[in-house]
Amino acid sequence: MVSRRVKDLEYAIRDIAVVAEQVEKSGKKIIHMNIGDPARYDFDTPKYISQALSDSTFSGQNYYVDSLGVRELREEVCKHENEKNSINLEPDDILITAGVTEGIFFILASLLENGNELLIPGPSYPLYINYSRFFDGVPVEYQLEEENDWSPNIEDLRKKITPKTQAILISSPNNPTGVIYDKKSIREILDLAGEHDLIVLSDEIYDQIVFEKEYTCPATLSKDIPLIGLNGFSKAHMATGWRLGYMYFHDPYGKLKELKEGIEKIARSRLCANSNAQFAAIEALKNPGPHTKSMVRKLKERRDYSYKRLRQMEGFHCINAEGTFYLFPRIELEEFKKWKNDKEFVIDLLKYTGVCAVYGSGFGFYGKKHVRFTFLPDLPTLETAYNYLEDFLKKSI
């Protein structure tokens, strides 16, 4: 007997990897452009951070730590966020999690039930959809307008607020589109939240992986609106497998007190996040190093190349990414008679070329007819992948 909540779970990013494993067993070489994991490519975890992890375990710090996080790490995260975003957090406003994924789980478990709604950008990271449903909530997508460079459609968001709405999610830079919300859009969303007495959630895991456009943290503009930020060490510090993230509570007037206490109860029930990774993360924050800026420089070159290639392909329409390491082109399925939807296209592409991408419908309603490619691979690998893709498209028209 399996519960409904488990039967309904889908996660396109990993589900396509299962298909890739099957294709690989047939002898086909796979080019992975599906998972946003820098450490899988040529972005190595900085040695001094790895050394700090090693030092932690060999010095005997292999025990359970505070369920809310090692105090010194919470102090460093607090300092980091305050300096970066000009906000005023205290260490007790920080909770250390096993990646942003656990943070999402904690928040939605504490916030949703009985059909209550979470407003999320569409397209959106699949876990917001999955976990909303898992906790008997309803994910409601507000449109990111492709014809407006994936900017949030504020009027659409306004129309979708109901008495059941609990919170609004800002995901900037956005996975999968790569859009960075501008200040005007953020202010309008915050105003709507204030008008309807809603919480704002802010997914900021890609906040340091930005290119030409300036990134604005929503908490910087949120004077009296309660906001929970989500961030971590996976992307900017290239330590995805360490599973270390954090959330912060920007709550000037104490409106999040009860919700925060509920989240802390869940944190205590799961004991703690990885202790050694927490001690290593202290070193990462105290001595930031040049690795993130170096990573962004390499990614920009790869983004520019990827964008150029995808734009040149007949049957594809692509908006450039302002942040993250993803491009999310639309495939003009009307020009092809071979595929009914984006999932069929992605699976066929994988089987015939070995290029593994993610079908856009896995990111919600507004992701349909799209494909997410990561541009994390090096340039020679990207060139090979796009050559395969271009040839595949030409043969399919």
> Would you kindly state where each structural domain of the chain is located, as residue ranges?
4-44+291-396, 47-286
* Among candidate residues 204, 270, 232, 277, the one with its CA nearest the CA of residue 77: 232
What secondary structure, in 3-state letters, does 200-265 show?
A: EEEECCCCCCECCCCCCCHHHHCCCCCEEEEEECCCCCCCHHHCCEEEEEECCCCCCHHHHHHHHH
φ, ψ dihedrals at 84, nearest 5°:
-70, -40
Q: With the C-alpha atoms ordered 211, 78, 238, 245, is the resulting torsion angle positive or negative?
A: negative
| Under 8 Å between Cβ of 34 and 356 | yes
φ, ψ dihedrals at 163, nearest 5°:
-60, -20
Give the span between the Cα atoms of 233 and 336, in whole angstroms: 41
Token pair of 310, please? Answer: 């995808």
Residue-by-residue DSSP string for 18-75: HHHHHHHHTTPPPEE-S---GGGTT-PPPHHHHHHHHHHHHTT--S---TT--HHHHH
pLDDT tens across the length of the chain (397 residues): 778 777 777 766 778 888 888 888 988 899 999 999 999 999 999 999 999 999 999 999 999 999 999 999 999 999 999 999 999 999 999 999 999 999 999 999 999 999 999 999 999 999 999 999 999 999 999 999 999 999 999 999 999 999 999 999 999 999 999 999 999 999 999 999 999 999 999 999 999 999 999 999 999 999 899 999 999 999 999 999 999 999 999 999 999 999 999 999 999 999 999 999 999 999 999 998 999 999 999 999 999 999 999 999 999 999 999 999 999 999 998 888 889 999 999 999 999 999 999 999 999 999 999 999 999 999 999 999 999 999 999 888 7
| Under 8 Å between Cβ of 178 and 322 | yes
pLDDT tens digits, one per residue of 75-116: 999 999 999 999 999 999 999 999 999 999 999 999 999 999
SS3 192: helix
Under CATH, what is the fold of the domain 47-286?
A: Aspartate Aminotransferase; domain 2 (3.40.640)
The domain 4-44+291-396: what is its CATH number? Answer: 3.90.1150.10
φ, ψ dihedrals at 98, nearest 5°:
-80, 75
pLDDT tens digits, one per residue of 48-66: 999 999 999 999 999 999 9
Give the span between the Cα atoms of 120 and 142, in whole angstroms: 6
Q: What is the four-CA torsion angle of 151, 165, 124, 334, rounded to 10 degrees?
A: -80
| Under 8 Å between Cβ of 19 and 354 | no
Cα within 13 Å of Cα(16), Cβ side: 31
Percent of the chain at pLDDT exceeding 70: 99
pLDDT tens digits, one per residue of 319-347: 999 999 999 999 998 888 889 999 999 99
